[in-house]
Chains A and B, each alone.
Chain A
Amino acid sequence: MEDTAVRLPIADCRLPIGFRRARARLSTVVFGWVAVAALALSSRASADTFREAFDAYAANAPEQSAALFRELATNQPSAGVLHNLGNAEWKSGQAGEAILAWERAQWLDPFNANARANLRYARQTAQLPSPQLAWYEMCSTWLPVNAWAWLAALSFWTALALVLLPGVLRWRKADWHQAVAAAGFAVFLLTIPALLGVHSRTKLGIIRAKDTPLRLTPTRDAQTLGRLPAGELVRLERERGGYVYVRGANDAAGWVERAQFGTISSL
Chain B
Amino acid sequence: MTMREFQLWLTIRSRRGALGCLLFAVLALPVSGEVRQKSSRDFFNDGTAQFQTNKLREAESALQVAVTSQNERVQPAALYNLGHVRFQQGVEALKEAPDAKGAAARGDHASAVADSAIQAADAALASGEVDAITRAYLQGKGARKELKAAMEAVKKALEAHGAVLRRWERASGDFKSAYELQTSLESAKENGAIMDRHIAALVDKQEMMMKSAQCMGGKRKDLQKRMQDMKKKMPDGAQKDDEGEDEEDEEDQKEPKQPKSGDKEKETKEGRRMELTWDEAMRLLESLKLDANRKLPMGDRETANPKDRKRREW
| Docked CA distance A219–B174 (Å) | 10
In the assembled complex, A217 has its CB within 8 A of some CB on chain B: yes
Contacts A223-B170, A245-B70: A217 and B79 contacting too (C-beta < 8 A)?
yes
Verify A222–B70 contact, CB threshold 8 A: no
In the assembled complex, A172 has its CB within 8 A of some CB on chain B: no
Interface residue from A216, A219, A238, A245 paired with B180 (Cβ < 8 Å): A219
| Docked CA distance A226–B142 (Å) | 48
In the assembled complex, A221 has its CB within 8 A of some CB on chain B: yes
In the assembled complex, A220 has its CB within 8 A of some CB on chain B: yes
Kindly identify, within residues 145 to 184 of chain B, every residue whose CB is under 8 Å from any CB belonging to chain A: 170, 172-174, 176-177, 180-181
Complex interface bits, A217-249 against B, C-beta within 8 A gives 1, otherwise 0: 111111100000000000000101000010000
In the assembled complex, B111 has its CB within 8 A of some CB on chain A: no
Closest approach, in angstroms, between the C-beta of B262 and any C-beta of chain A?
Answer: 30
| Docked CA distance A245–B72 (Å) | 13
Residue among B79, B174, B177 with most chain A CB within 10 A = B177
User: Residue on B with the closest CB to A224?
Assistant: B173
Complex interface bits, A144-161 against B, C-beta within 8 A gives 1, otherwise 0: 000000000000000000
User: Residue on B with the closest CB to A220?
Assistant: B180
Cβ–Cβ < 8 Å partners of A222 in chain B: 173, 177
| Docked CA distance A63–B133 (Å) | 70
Verify B176–A220 contact, CB threshold 8 A: yes
User: Residue on B with the closest CB to A255?
Assistant: B70
| Docked CA distance A54–B167 (Å) | 53
Number of interface residues of A (CB under 8 A): 11
Cβ–Cβ < 8 Å partners of A238 in chain B: 70
| Docked CA distance A245–B70 (Å) | 10
In the assembled complex, B117 has its CB within 8 A of some CB on chain A: no
Q: Give the interface SS of chain A, mostly helix, strand, loop or mixed.
A: loop
| Docked CA distance A218–B178 (Å) | 10
Interface residue from B68, B72, B170, B181 paired with A219 (Cβ < 8 Å): B181
| Docked CA distance A240–B72 (Å) | 10
Cβ–Cβ < 8 Å partners of B70 in chain A: 238, 245
Residue among B70, B170, B172 with most chain A CB within 10 A = B70
Interface residue from A221, A240, A245 paired with B176 (Cβ < 8 Å): A221
Cβ–Cβ < 8 Å partners of A217 in chain B: 67, 75, 79, 177, 181
Cβ–Cβ < 8 Å partners of A220 in chain B: 176-177, 180
Closest approach, in angstroms, between the C-beta of A174 and any C-beta of chain B?
Answer: 49
| Docked CA distance A218–B170 (Å) | 15
User: Residue on A with the closest CB to B180?
Assistant: A219
| Docked CA distance A222–B180 (Å) | 10
| Docked CA distance A217–B177 (Å) | 8
Closest approach, in angstroms, between the C-beta of B265 and any C-beta of chain A?
Answer: 23
Closest approach, in angstroms, between the C-beta of B166 and any C-beta of chain A?
Answer: 11
| Docked CA distance A219–B72 (Å) | 13
Cβ–Cβ < 8 Å partners of B176 in chain A: 219-221
Complex interface bits, A190-218 against B, C-beta within 8 A gives 1, otherwise 0: 00000000000000000000000000111
| Docked CA distance A173–B278 (Å) | 72
Verify B181–A216 contact, CB threshold 8 A: no
Question: 9 closest A-B pairs (Cβ-Cβ)?
Answer: A219-B177, A221-B173, A221-B176, A219-B180, A217-B177, A221-B177, A222-B177, A216-B67, A219-B181
By a beta-carbon cutoff of 8 Å, the part of chain B in contact with chain A is 67-68, 70, 72, 75, 79, 170, 172-174, 176-177, 180-181
Name 30 A/B residue pairs within 8 A (Cβ), A-sorted: A216-B67, A216-B68, A217-B67, A217-B75, A217-B79, A217-B177, A217-B181, A218-B181, A219-B176, A219-B177, A219-B180, A219-B181, A220-B176, A220-B177, A220-B180, A221-B172, A221-B173, A221-B174, A221-B176, A221-B177, A221-B180, A222-B173, A222-B177, A223-B170, A223-B173, A223-B174, A223-B177, A238-B70, A240-B72, A245-B70
13 additional contacts (CB under 8 A) given A223-B170, A245-B70: A217-B67, A217-B177, A219-B176, A219-B177, A219-B180, A220-B180, A221-B172, A221-B174, A221-B177, A221-B180, A222-B173, A223-B174, A238-B70
